[in-house]
Amino acid sequence: MNNPAEPQIGIIGTGVTSSRAASVLHTLGHTPRVEKLGSASTLFDCDVVILAHGAPHDALTSAFVAQGVAVVSTSDNLTDVLAILDGQDKAVARGVPVVAGAACLPGLSGLLVTHVSRAFESIDEVHNAVHGTGGPMCAVQHHDSLAGTSIGWHDGEWLQRPAGSGRELCWFPDPIGARDCYRFASPEPVLLQRAQPGLQRITSRVSATRRDRLTSRLPMLRKPHAEGLEGGLRVEVRGLRDGRRHVEIVGVADRVATVAGAVAAHTALALLNGTVIPGVHNLGEATMPNADILDGVTSSGVTLHQFIGR
C-alpha cells in the first residue's frame, strides 16, 4: 500500500496510455493509483493526477483543480485543450499547475522543438506530423480529427482549412518511412504558438490513407486495434543559424501510447517535484523544465532520430 505521507500520483484511465504511464512510474519507484473514469473522486487526495482516458478532460481538470490537485492531461482534442487552457485563472487562484497536451503530438513535439531550437540563432517555422494511434480512443480521435477544421499559424494570423486537405509526403524514421499526411483538427499549433511566440508559421499533419479520409465523416467501419502498432513523430524546425536559413528534423519511431505514457509520467513527476508554478502550461513553454522531462522520456526508452541531409 502507499504511505499516506508520501506524495501520491493518480491515473484516470485503464487503457494503453495509462498502463504505459503507470509502468514508467513503477520503474522510477512510484506506485500510482489507477482508477476508471467513473471513480475520479477517489483520487481527490492525490498530489498529481494524470488524465489518460479519452476526451473530454476539461470537466475533470476543473474538478481536480478545485480540490487543489495538479493535473497532467494527455488529451489531443482541439476543443478540449482550448477549454483546459481557459482554466488559467482558476488554476492560479487554487495554487496548482496544470499541463495540457502532454502526450506525443502535442507533448513530445513541444519538447523536441525546444530541444532543437538550441541549434539556431532564432526559429520562425515549425512543421510537425504524427503517424499511428495509441489505442481505441486515440483511434476514434484520429478518425474524427480528419472530419473537422484544421487550424494553422501563418504570418501572425490563424488560418482555418478543411481537415483531410493539404496532402504532403512526410518522411518518418525507419521503419515507418514516407507517409501521406494531411491537415487535421489538432491543438498542436495553438500550443506551439504559446510556447514559441516568435514563430511565424506552424503546421500540423497526421498520416492517413485514402479510406481514412473518405470515411472520416461516417461512423468507424471497424473496431480499432487494442493498441496502435507502429507509430512515429516528425518535428521540422526552420530558422537562422550563422545568418543563413537552416533546417533541423528530429523524430521518433515508437508506439504512440508508449511515447504518450512516458511523456505524461515524467511531466507528472515534474509537477510532483514542485518545479512548475501554478497555472495552465504546455510542454515547450519556458515555464516548464523541458530538458529534464525530455531526458526522462529518453531514459525510459524512447529513442530520438535525427535526419541528416546529404
CA quadruple 163, 165, 166, 171: dihedral positive or negative? positive
Q: Taking the CA of residue 62 as centre, how many other CA atoms within 13 Å lie in the half-sphere pointing to its CB?
A: 11
pLDDT band at 229 (very low <50, low <70, confident <90, very high): low
Contact (Cβ atoms closer than 8 angstroms) between residue 265 and residue 301 = no
pLDDT band at 209 (very low <50, low <70, confident <90, very high): confident
Q: What is the pLDDT of residue 258?
A: 95
Distances (CA, A) of 111 to 19, 22, 114, 195, 293: 22, 21, 5, 10, 8
CA quadruple 190, 195, 198, 199: dihedral positive or negative? negative
Which has the higher per-residue pLDDT, 5 or 171?
A: 171
280: region left, alpha or beta (phi > 0 left; psi from -120 to 50 alpha):
beta
d(CA 171, CA 138): 22
The model's pTM is 0.91
d(CA 249, CA 258): 21
Please give the radius of gyration of the chain, using alpha carbons only, rounded to the nearest integer: 18
Question: What is the number of residues in the chain?
Answer: 310
Q: What is the pLDDT of residue 1?
A: 46
Evaluate if residue 213 carries a pLDDT over 70. Answer: no
pLDDT band at 232 (very low <50, low <70, confident <90, very high): very high
pLDDT band at 226 (very low <50, low <70, confident <90, very high): low
308 alpha carbon, distance to own chain's centre: 25
Q: What is the pLDDT of residue 7?
A: 78
Write the DSSP assignment of 146-202 as a string of letters: TTSEEEEEETTEEEEEETT-S-EEEEETTTTEEEEEEE---SHHHHHHHH-TT-SEE
**pLDDT-wise least confident of 60-64, 69-73, 162-166, 249-253:** 162-166
